[in-house]
């Protein structure tokens, strides 16, 4: 069965075909189908790995090597599922089928929860939250806005030194709500910045040390902010750090 929102091959206008006569939209549909089919066994695998991890953690006689193996299993399965979710989101977006379900949302509470949950998981980085008093109601899809923030926070961690400082600032901004995620990391070259929200944009590795990634996260962040009627911008100075700014219209409650 085809997943929700995935069109059958040929349902979209074929713009260009490769040497085998496969159009881009056909290739996208197959990719979406494969990604969807991979998701189910991966979810089962993740559940079982987490069960094993908890069981081992609860036993006094567990060897530390076994516990480590279970931890790696859970972590890597999480990563694989996140990659597949990204591919699914991108193909849906490119077929005009990525949806957000906006509801009245206390964006401040969401940001606070995300920061509080991430803080203990960061072993080296410092994460700080500065929030102006008040409420930050928006019309937002909580899951999708969390996806945007998680992406920005993960990037801040990935592209800053282990003792880096990450700050999240939240404040009203006219009739909008503004959230800024800053790091004091490697920064982004001026030549890359205009392309940053396009798919597959990745800056050159620093000192030949590549960082894992697909170059699709920011592309999706922009897509999701646009679907909310909001925006995302970047300010950065090379070797000093970067700030990603999210703006969302305030919810006017009548």
Indicate the Cα dihedral angle 125, 131, 136, 138, nearest 10°. -30
82, 202, 226, 231: which one binds ligand ADP (CB under 6 A): 202
Distance CA 71, CA 51 (A): 11
Distance CA 197, CA 215 (A): 9
**Interface mask (CB under 6 A) for ligand ADP, residues 209-248, using x and -?**
----xxxxxxx----------------------x------
188, 223, 232, 248: which one binds ligand ADP (CB under 6 A): 188
Residues 6+ apart with CB under 8 A from 251: 104, 105, 137, 138, 139
User: In angstroms, what is the minimal distance from the CB of 31 to ligand ADP?
Assistant: 17
Q: Is 203 in the site for ligand ADP (CB under 6 A)?
A: yes
The conformational region for residue 71 under phi > 0 = left, psi -120 to 50 = alpha, else beta, is alpha
Distance CA 236, CA 184 (A): 10
Is the distance from CB of 140 to CB of 107 less than 8 angstroms?
yes
Q: How many residues bind ligand ADP (CB under 6 A)?
A: 21
Q: Is 164 in the site for ligand ADP (CB under 6 A)?
A: no
Judged by CB under 6 A, which stretch of 22-30, 41-49, 128-136, 207-215 contacts ligand ADP?
Answer: 207-215
90, 186, 248, 251: which one binds ligand ADP (CB under 6 A): 186
Judged by CB under 6 A, which stretch of 14-22, 51-59, 87-95, 152-160 contacts ligand ADP?
Answer: 152-160
Judged by CB under 6 A, which stretch of 43-51, 55-63, 104-112, 186-194 contacts ligand ADP?
Answer: 186-194
Nearest by Cα to 114 from 82, 85, 143: 143
Provide the binding-site residues for ligand ADP, judged by CB under 6 A.
Answer: 151, 155-156, 159, 183, 185-188, 196, 201-203, 213-219, 242
């Amino acid at each position: 069965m085809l997943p929700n929102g995935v069109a059958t091959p040929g349902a979209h206008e074929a713009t260009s075909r490769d040497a085998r006569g496969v159009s881009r939209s056909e290739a996208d549909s197959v990719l979406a189908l494969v990604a969807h089919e991979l998701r189910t066994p991966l979810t089962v695998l993740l559940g079982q790995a987490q069960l094993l991890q908890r069981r081992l953690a609860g036993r006094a006689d567990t060897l530390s090597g076994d516990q480590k193996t279970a931890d790696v299993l859970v972590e890597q399965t999480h990563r694989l599922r996140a990659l597949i979710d990204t591919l699914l989101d991108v193909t849906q977006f490119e077929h005009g089928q990525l949806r957000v379900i906006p509801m009245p949302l206390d964006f401040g509470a969401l940001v606070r929860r995300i920061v509080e949950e991430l803080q203990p998981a960061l072993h080296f980085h410092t994460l700080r939250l500065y929030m102006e008093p008040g409420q930050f109601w928006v019309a937002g899809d909580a899951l999708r806005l969390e996806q945007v923030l998680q992406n920005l926070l993960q990037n801040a961690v990935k592209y800053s030194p282990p003792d880096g400082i990450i700050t999240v600032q939240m404040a009203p901004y006219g009739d909008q709500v503004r959230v800024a995620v800053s790091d004091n990391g490697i920064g982004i070259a001026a030549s890359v910045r205009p392309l940053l929200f396009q798919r597959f944009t990745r800056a050159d590795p620093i000192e030949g040390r590549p960082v894992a990634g697909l170059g699709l996260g920011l592309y999706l962040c922009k897509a999701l902010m646009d679907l909310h009627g909001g925006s995302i911008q970047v300010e950065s100075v090379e070797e000093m750090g970067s700030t990603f700014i999210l703006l969302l219209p305030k919810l006017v409650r009548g």
